Amino acid sequence: MGSNIKTDSASETLYGIAELAEAHGVSQRTIRFYEDKGLISPRRVGGQRVYTEHDSKRLSLILRAKSIGTKLSDIRTFLELYGREGEGRVRQLEFVIEKTAAEIEALEAKKRQIDQTLAELKLIHDGARERLGRRRG
């Protein structure tokens, strides 16, 4: 099965939960919660969680997805896509293609909604600025 040999030289940077939370601006509770939901799986050293750079990037992905309104349960699916994407089995590939296509469409629809809202907000904003300008003139 290839190389199970861990080529981690001693140089790999590791993080405790406190550091990771601090770095990403979230609570430790949040990180543990994501672990419960199966989104991140840190190693354990005597019970304590130890995070790698990879875990950190995963967390970034999670937070970005969340910021655009994706539910944690869906994020879980997509993290699996990211992971399995390299596998070659036809069923898997079809699954990935289908899921990503659907999500791409959903996100583009969302962008359109945002653009519409932005246009309206800008109208209101500019209108108010103009009236304020005249008032102060």
DSSP H or E stretch at residue 50:
strand 48-52
Binding window for a second copy (CB under 8 A); candidates: 5-13, 39-47, 49-57, 95-103: 95-103
CB nearer a second copy, residue 28 or residue 92: 92
Only one of the segments 23-31, 32-40, 41-49, 121-129 lies at the binding site for a second copy (rule: CB under 8 A); that segment is 121-129
Largest CA distance in the chain: 76
Looking at beta carbons only, is 17 or 65 nearer to a second copy? 65
Name which position in 67, 71, 79, 80 contacts a second copy (CB under 8 A).
67
Helices 17-24/53-67 angle, 10° precision: 40
What are the φ/ψ torsions at residue 10 (nearest 5 degrees)? -65, -5
Residues of the shown chain interacting with DNA in the complex, contacts defined by CB under 7 A: 16-18, 27-30, 32-33, 37, 46-49, 66, 71-73
